[in-house]
Structure 1
Amino acid sequence: MVKGVLLAAVLLLSLPLQALTQLSASVDKNPALRGEAVTLEVTANARVAADAINFRVLEQDFTVMVPSVSTSTQIINGQSSQSTIWRIVLLPKKAGSYTIPAFTLQGLSTKPISLEVLNETAQNNTNSNTELFLQGSIEQQQLYVQQLSYYQVTIYFNGDLQRGSLSEPQMDGASIMQVGQDAESTELVNGIRYRTITRRYAITPQRSGNFTITPPTFSGEMIDRDSARYNYFARTKTVVQQAEPIDVVVNAIPANFPGNWLVAGLVTLTEEWSPDITELKQGEPVTRIITLSAVDVAENQLPDLTQGFPDGLRLYQEQPQAKSAERNGRLVAQKIFTTAVIANTAGELELPEVSLAWWNSQTNKLEHARLPVRTLRVAAIAGAAEPTTTISPALNVAPPLATPASSSEASPWQWNYISSLLLAVWLLTLLGSYVLWRLKAPVRPAARTQSRVRFNSSELKRACKQGDATAAKAELLRFAHQQLDKRCQSLTEMSAYIHSAELKNQLIKLNAALYGNSNAWQGEHLWQAWQQYDAGRKEAGASDSLQPLYPQ
């Protein structure tokens, strides 16, 4: 057996190369419908190189797929014959009359072929029972530069589709991206039930002018219905189809448009404060979050905002965060602007209007997204306000306090009665506080959230001394989690639970160093502010504990 195979191989290799005597060309259909694939077959009766014929001359009138080349050798009654066959799938770019030119090889030439492409698509041909065809469409054919529009291509097929691939549409000077996932459905066309696969693309032109969208091409394998009737193991056949080209006009940006160009279906501005405020407190940080949302816009098209904060504020702005998502087949983009705000002086502050100009692609008009003017009242620091409100009233109130003393001299019984009553009330208050403290005492340890890594003030000190901003932040958030029982995700959130203006100030500076990617942060002041805060917190805890009712 092995010897027979080797002998046959030797005989094939020893055969002389057959001289080329015939060269022919043919197409599988003529006429063809617009958007329908035509297969050109060129046959040579000799074995020749696969690249012996150049088919690029066809690219002017057709979309040319990659040629497939096959060679064969037959021996019949000692006579050998060889052949080379090229098969090329052609997609006519438009309807009309075409001439497939002659191809020359080793002195022989094929005959030119006249091909007629009818101005009628497969899906609109009432006499056609096409197994597969494509339809392409775009929402708007009149666009502006950087205006996003949706191109949709649908594959219709009523046979057994085994596999396939779909190329992307092309357009000069435009960015193209797929939107969402493919959608499958069914549809009746000319009384025939087709299964459909729909794919959407976002096309954004980057320059003005007249352009043509080169449609996507589908190439796949389907069960050959004719072979399936007579053979259980049915053969497959290659199907190639293309949608129709679409012309698009792209207009230039209006010359009188104010600000950075933004064209969208809808644009909104929203604002929130964390924590929610009715007034600012001098020296205490709050966070202003502005969200810019736009429909039919990619996230990289959203511009920055000019907020125009007035003087008298310290600002720490984070890097804007942009993101996008698909909603019901449309792109929705958002850009979030986060700013930590600290008021330096008490009084009233007016935050100016935030306005963003944009071009409405639905109404073709200029519009503005706005946040109205906001007036904020800044309360003074509690420590600075207390002397002005307590010293002078105390001087005025002190003389009337002598009145009960003078009346007590006239009526000792009345003085003793009032004193006894006040003493009883005070003792009852102490007793009630003691009972409540005893009731709450067993619950407090259980309420404290545990963590695998305990807060360590020595680690915080080390991070501050070494200028390690990341380690300092981690240790401070661990303190808030374990000691304050607050699951803070950021230093800004933690500062809302800190009652030390200086420590809050240092937290803001630490946050600014982290967001600003600064390596020059010095933690000495933060450590000092922390020590003062921690000492005050411990003193407050000690003063809250009750002394014995009957000290020894």
Structure 2
Amino acid sequence: MVKVIISLLAILLSCHSYALTKVSASVDKSLTMANESIILTITADDDVNANALDTSALLTDFIVGRTSVSSQTSMINFDTTRTTTWNTVLIPRSSGELVIPAFDINGFKTQIITINSLAANESATSNQQDLFITTQASATDLYVQQQITLTVRLHFAAELKRGSLSEPSLVSANILQIGKDQESESIIKGKRYRVIERVYAISPQKSGDMILKAPIFSGEIIIASARRSNFLSFADTKPVSVVGDDIALTVNAIPAQVSGLWLPSELFALQQEFQPAPRKFKVGEPITRTITLTAVGLSEEQLPEINMQVPQGLKVYPDQAKLHTGLNNERLVSQKVVNFAIVASKAGEYQLPEISIPWWNTVTNKAEIATIAGQKIIILPNADIVPSTMQQQPPRMNLENPTTPKVVENVIIQQNSFLQWLFLALWLLTLLAWYITAKRPFKPKQANSETNTKVNNAHLAILAACKKNNGELALACLLPWARYQSQQQSLDNNQSQVLTTLDSLHDYFNDPALSNAIIELQQSYYGKNPSAWSGNKLSLAIQALNKSKLSKSSEVDISINP
């Protein structure tokens, strides 16, 4: 009997025909404001393929967020119904009357929907915003490679279940988040908001008029549900998205009068400090001179090298530079602190030369020079240190007043015969070991030559960028290639130098061809009149440096182990 009932149910279900008969469209609100999201819901009364909905027609007037698709099947008194629902988050791109066009789902079209998007400054909507984003840039008129800060604040009065905030975007720019998110509360027009603040450092790498795209927040908020029971009340979630206002930027090219290092900054200062504090020091005692470079609107990587020259009679030993970055009044502030240990070998008066670094003042639009004036220091004799000339003088005999000659005593040293035989045995063993080693066939080591002739990935990458005339890729590969060369040089002479900026490459390699090629590359991309770049000169300079290094490394002295 059970089998008969199951068979009848199967026949009834199989005889029932399903077909799409209707599709409909709706929005959760017809009055919204610019940059605030609405939810478009499209429902089909059948099981339809999820890819049947094409939302590309909305991209002109809306920012289209994520789309969720759900299917539902229900059976009541052997009557089966199936529905397919699409929920799409939309953000109006502008204010005014906007039209959501009709969508075609398997030959059936939805109705056209008209919504009104109000501007953010209209008072009629000031009390309707539960979620919005504000953006603020520290400067909108800036120079290429000058850093500005973008402060993004997410305000929400509803309870968030989950969400994510995208990064701002700008063509040909370096964007980096500074620090961690800060959370606070604020009351705006009598409404309490929770505020999440995030700060970005933005450095454009190309000049011109640009649009800084604001970040987009996408998430879900908790809303009260209409479903209620005697004991429990339920809560539903609603997808939301919101975008901040875009910011127009004017990025100026490097001024024509700037020929050297390009350092655009609002404030650029050099300071020094001596330890110990007095200006009079003693021979042999170390003197610590601390030089601090502070720059507003520059990153750590852009800070130049600080070099100190000393006159003869002084020796200087620089420490590794310490770098710091932070925010002060919504401005990015970077610092470089270098300690120089100075040691005097003889007493006297010394003049330390001045230290000067040219930079560009972005407030006054003028070239300026940060300077530490020359410093005079006095080195006093040190009674605890005997001069080397006195240590090397032999004792003198006083011939005018000869003293009574001392009685010469004969001292007999008894030699230990056991130690003599021991030293003789060790010497014979050494001769035997040398003889055995000399008879072995000599095999020259090839590890160093193989290491030197091995082409590293950074070398191949920059040559490939030069061959493709890709200047941006060449700029990105220059420092990794130079650091590899510096590491190889440190293995040869046990001296290491940290290369952090393109300016440090000129002093390190001291190669005019390479310097001219780097300057030409920077001018073609960052100059006042950008032009097409050819990587031939840079490729030839790098290959010439590599060839000279290989020729030096091949001249290896062949030594025989004793």
TM-score (norm 2): 0.60
2:142 corresponds in structure 1 to 143
Note closer, same or farther for the CA distance 1:251–1:10 as it changes in structure 2 (3 Å cut).
Answer: farther
Partners of 2:241 and 2:221 lie apart in 1 by: 10
Note closer, same or farther for the CA distance 1:38–1:159 as it changes in structure 2 (3 Å cut).
Answer: closer
1:117 corresponds in structure 2 to 117
1:272 corresponds in structure 2 to 273
Partners of 1:328 and 1:114 lie apart in 2 by: 45
1:156 corresponds in structure 2 to 155
The alpha carbon displacement at 1:379 in A equals 5.9
The alpha carbon displacement at 1:148 in A equals 2.2
The alpha carbon displacement at 1:70 in A equals 0.5
The alpha carbon displacement at 1:315 in A equals 4.6
The alpha carbon displacement at 1:177 in A equals 2.5
1:305 corresponds in structure 2 to 306
Q: Residue by residue, what CA displacement relative to the aligned partner does 1:297-319 show, whole Å, maximum 9, x if unpaired?
A: 32112122343444565554444
**1:131 maps onto 2:135 in alignment:** no
| Kept after mapping to 1: 8 A contact 2:137/2:149 | yes
Q: Residue by residue, what CA displacement relative to the aligned partner does 1:324-377 show, whole Å, maximum 9, x if unpaired?
A: 234565433222334444556765443221112233444554433221101334
Partners of 1:240 and 1:37 lie apart in 2 by: 5
Question: How do residues 320-331 of structure 1 correspond to structure 2 at under 5 angstroms?
Answer: 320-326=321-327, 329-331=330-332
Larger Rg belongs to: 1
**1:263 maps onto 2:264 in alignment:** yes
Note closer, same or farther for the CA distance 1:343–1:59 as it changes in structure 2 (3 Å cut).
Answer: farther
Partners of 2:276 and 2:51 lie apart in 1 by: 72
SS in 1 for 2:51: coil
SS in 1 for 2:119: strand
Partners of 2:368 and 2:493 lie apart in 1 by: 44
Note closer, same or farther for the CA distance 1:71–1:385 as it changes in structure 2 (3 Å cut).
Answer: same
Partners of 1:163 and 1:227 lie apart in 2 by: 22
The alpha carbon displacement at 1:179 in A equals 2.8
1:33 corresponds in structure 2 to 33
Question: How do residues 349-388 of structure 1 correspond to structure 2 at under 5 angstroms?
Answer: 349-377=350-378, 382-384=386-388
2:108 corresponds in structure 1 to 108
The AA in structure 1 aligned to 2:67 is: P
Partners of 1:336 and 1:242 lie apart in 2 by: 40
The alpha carbon displacement at 1:285 in A equals 5.6
1:73 corresponds in structure 2 to 73
Note closer, same or farther for the CA distance 1:109–1:126 as it changes in structure 2 (3 Å cut).
Answer: closer
The AA in structure 1 aligned to 2:130 is: E
| Kept after mapping to 2: 8 A contact 1:52/1:105 | yes
The alpha carbon displacement at 1:69 in A equals 0.6
Partners of 1:360 and 1:261 lie apart in 2 by: 11
SS in 2 for 1:300: helix
1:86 corresponds in structure 2 to 86
Partners of 2:144 and 2:105 lie apart in 1 by: 49
Partners of 1:110 and 1:352 lie apart in 2 by: 80
The alpha carbon displacement at 1:143 in A equals 1.7
The alpha carbon displacement at 1:73 in A equals 1.1
TM-score (norm 1): 0.61
Q: How many residues align?
A: 401
| Kept after mapping to 2: 8 A contact 1:221/1:237 | yes
| Kept after mapping to 2: 8 A contact 1:34/1:121 | no
**1:253 maps onto 2:254 in alignment:** yes
2:195 corresponds in structure 1 to 196
The AA in structure 1 aligned to 2:87 is: R
Query: Which 5+ residue runs of structure 1 have no aligned equivalent?
Result: 400-513, 523-552
Superposed CA RMSD in Å reads 4.3
Query: Which 5+ residue runs of structure 2 have no aligned equivalent?
Result: 402-486, 496-562
The AA in structure 1 aligned to 2:387 is: G
Note closer, same or farther for the CA distance 1:50–1:121 as it changes in structure 2 (3 Å cut).
Answer: farther
The alpha carbon displacement at 1:286 in A equals 4.6
Deviates more, 1:265-274 or 1:77-86: 265-274
SS in 2 for 1:215: coil
| Kept after mapping to 2: 8 A contact 1:168/1:216 | yes
The alpha carbon displacement at 1:203 in A equals 2.2
| Kept after mapping to 1: 8 A contact 2:148/2:202 | yes
The alpha carbon displacement at 1:144 in A equals 1.7
| Kept after mapping to 2: 8 A contact 1:300/1:322 | no
Partners of 1:366 and 1:11 lie apart in 2 by: 90
Partners of 2:243 and 2:197 lie apart in 1 by: 14
Q: Residue by residue, what CA displacement relative to the aligned partner does 1:115-149 show, whole Å, maximum 9, x if unpaired?
A: 44223457x43564332222222232212222222
Note closer, same or farther for the CA distance 1:15–1:270 as it changes in structure 2 (3 Å cut).
Answer: farther
The AA in structure 2 aligned to 1:141 is: T
Partners of 2:296 and 2:142 lie apart in 1 by: 16
Q: Residue by residue, what CA displacement relative to the aligned partner does 1:241-290 show, whole Å, maximum 9, x if unpaired?
A: 22222222222222223632223333222223456674566677655432
SS in 2 for 1:125: helix
Partners of 2:189 and 2:85 lie apart in 1 by: 38
The alpha carbon displacement at 1:75 in A equals 1.9
| Kept after mapping to 2: 8 A contact 1:17/1:46 | no
Identity across aligned pairs (percent)?
39
| Kept after mapping to 2: 8 A contact 1:179/1:330 | no
SS in 1 for 2:59: helix
Q: Residue by residue, what CA displacement relative to the aligned partner does 1:451-492 show, whole Å, maximum 9, x if unpaired?
A: xxxxxxxxxxxxxxxxxxxxxxxxxxxxxxxxxxxxxxxxxx
2:23 corresponds in structure 1 to 23
The AA in structure 2 aligned to 1:19 is: A
